Structure 1
Amino acid sequence: MRDFAVSDDPRVQTQLDRLGALSVPQGRIGLDVVRVLLERLGNPQRNLPPVFHVAGTNGKGSTCAFLRAALEAVGRTVHVFTSPHLVRFNERIRVSGKLIEDETLARHLDEVLDVAEAAGIGASFFEVSTAAAFLAFSRHPADACVIEVGLGGRYDATNVIETPVVGGIASLGIDHEAFLLAPEDNVPSDAMTRIAFEKAGIAKSGAALVTLDYTPAMNQAIQGQAAIVGAPVIRRGQDWTIVASPEGLTYSDAQGSLSLPTPRMPGLHQGVNAGLAIAMLRHQQAVDIPENAYAEAMVQASWPARLQRLGEGPLTALLPAGTACWLDGGHNPDAGNAIATHFRRPTRVHLVLGMLANKAPQALLEPLRERLASVTVVPVPGHDCHDVEAFRQVPDIPAPVAAANVREALSALRIDAQQDDVVLIGGSLYLAGTVLRDNDEIPD
């Protein structure tokens, strides 16, 4: 499976080819390798502007987008590290507000890869990517740094950050089971509690850990992890609230209340992500954020392939005029439930679905079951993925059909304008990247 994009710049492509050749030895977990790598690079992670560190199963990228928008609304410059990318690897690393330039990216990747190879430590794709981002951030000035956890939290490469100004945990669900639920002594046995335990591993001494409200066992696991390092937990429903209404959002905490516009990003869950970002900003003291910045963030923040309505382009031109075509990279049940909440009846959804072979086929189909008008299964280019037979095992849905690609799938749909039909392309961020490229909507 490939986890890297191609580049028109030969200097970048050379480094992407080197990245793509990396692998992680079976069973190897922990932060030892990335710490050695960063030590050889001069520990750039210790020379960053104030760090906002965000973990979660779903919503952490959107939370990062709200954080960045609020910080930039008051003229702050922001470094951002997120994953995965959709079309270009550059999307992972935003330096002082702009996607990292090809020449800078190639130079930093080359430096990190050379050091990793010389050390012979077997650094992984994500460890090298993280080190390259920290190296770039340490060499360019900015007022703040927003870091998204890649996978889990406790053993994620980004967790070498020693002194964040605040941490956050977004929505939690079952994902990456092979890594996050691997057998280990002295960890929770319940799957969801274990997920919460892993995410709470980002807690650091003296930095507030801002969370949503989960089950009592999950809340307790997070509280326990935070207590070990001396991190106060700021929980939704207990220390802060966010309420959506037709007029917008109302955020409240001990500091007071804010009346905010409805977020530009569609979906009721985005109000929750916005609330998490606001709570993080209001429970740190390193960067001053005036109240007007929060309202500006609601209308400015965007995050591609998360309930994104596609614009005019080569793919949407294949649909009848006026047909809404949505794109979402969600691939687990938690994401499926959020998507289904957005597409309320009587809307009928024509689902064009591609999912990696290690994801559950029913993750989107079951939440959307009552709204489905058709299901068309497409491959995820360059990846091992489910074929149409896997989806035919899910009961009580329209009979899935196969198409060779998204273009063929869209061309074959029978859209009924009288039935409020919409199209949703989903199931994989890798598929989403292909769709954005083919519809000429490359993220910037």
Structure 2
Amino acid sequence: MHDIRFIRENPQSFDASLARRGLEPLSARLLKLDEERRTLATELQQSLAKRNEASKAIGQAMAQKDMERAEALKAEVAALKESLPALEEKEKQAGAALDAALAAIPNLPGDDVPEGADESANVEVSRWGTPRDFAFTPQDHADFGPALGLDFEAAAAISGARFAALRGGVARLHRALAQFMLDRQTGENGYEEVNPPLLVRDAALYGTGQLPKFAEDLFQTTDGRWLIPTAEVSLTNLVREQIVAEDSLPLRFTALTPCFRSEAGSAGRDTRGFIRQHQFEKVELVAICRPEDSEAEHQRMVKCAEGILEALALPYRKVLLCTGDMGFGARKTYDLEVWLPSQQTYREISSVSNCGDFQARRMNARYRPEGEKATRFLHTLNGSGLAVGRTLVAVLENCQNEDGSVDIPAALHPYMGGITRLEPR
């Protein structure tokens, strides 16, 4: 959500930032809606004041035995009472129209975010690790994974496309990865583990920016709740409508949860394999902090995600997203992309975003700086630490052998009950 006061004071700057996002100027339209709302609010306040003054004057007139004036005042009050509901509704509708317009506009990009229309303008920041030099042609996980227990056919018969059933050693490896990530983020990186709700109300998704714009990408239940597309929704909303104590900041939360996405906008993309599923698990990272700390917190969160890939010895690169490739709620985003031998390219495995106060304004999440009476909006950040399914794919492909077996990374050995290699079934 955007601050209308900022837009009033900086319309040209606001439009310039939107232009970097590839959007047309919107300040004039927003300010017109704001002026209509403020005019109606002033008219409503004046009418209420007139009603109150007239009501007091009635008693004075009657005390003075001026019945003619008292009756005239009563008629004035009656007329005001009759007109007030319509005026209140107009003012309410004008406020809702302004809020809806503001809610549909993406976050403004940070000054250090590169400008560009799409992913071709993203900037590679660094690389870690060297892709393995295979003595054979590495296979796609979708081809050799079924022999290890990656069952697409049974899942499709049960649920349709973009679902998978994990069986045997692959299921164990998937669980090991999830537990390793969660232990690392809580034990070494200081995140508080949370087991959050998977079903949320409209307000929670509005707070983090998925609603109203991205409803088609979500699954809704018969009672009107929504399945979370990521634990970011539940974790970030832990501070909604709160004034957080400054000395408790930063708050750092992590959760391992199933995630559910309809993938409405991804027709034809990654139809094979385990990369793009309707249901998947992810270890999410969320941080809530003071505005002056959010850039440092962003860099810290990226490091926490990178540490998982490095511990698993998976080659990856870090990319700073351009203005045209960032998510709706982000002001700055780094993607971590892991190397997939079968595709001979890097694929996204984590996206870590600083949202500034964009989400906090939608959630009314604030803190009170020490020694000040006024409150300020918090800054929120989120990222994957990591997507478990995509990490499973990366391990399978990077650690595969010519006979179809897969060597388990050493970091996962304590979680595998003595299993160090997956063998074809």
Shorter-chain TM-score bucket reads: under 0.3
Higher helix share: 2
Q: What TM-score do you get using the length of structure 2 for normalisation?
A: 0.23
The structure showing larger relative contact order (alpha-carbon pairs under 8 Å, at least 6 residues apart) is 2
Q: What TM-score do you get using the length of structure 1 for normalisation?
A: 0.22
Rg comparison, structure with higher value? 2
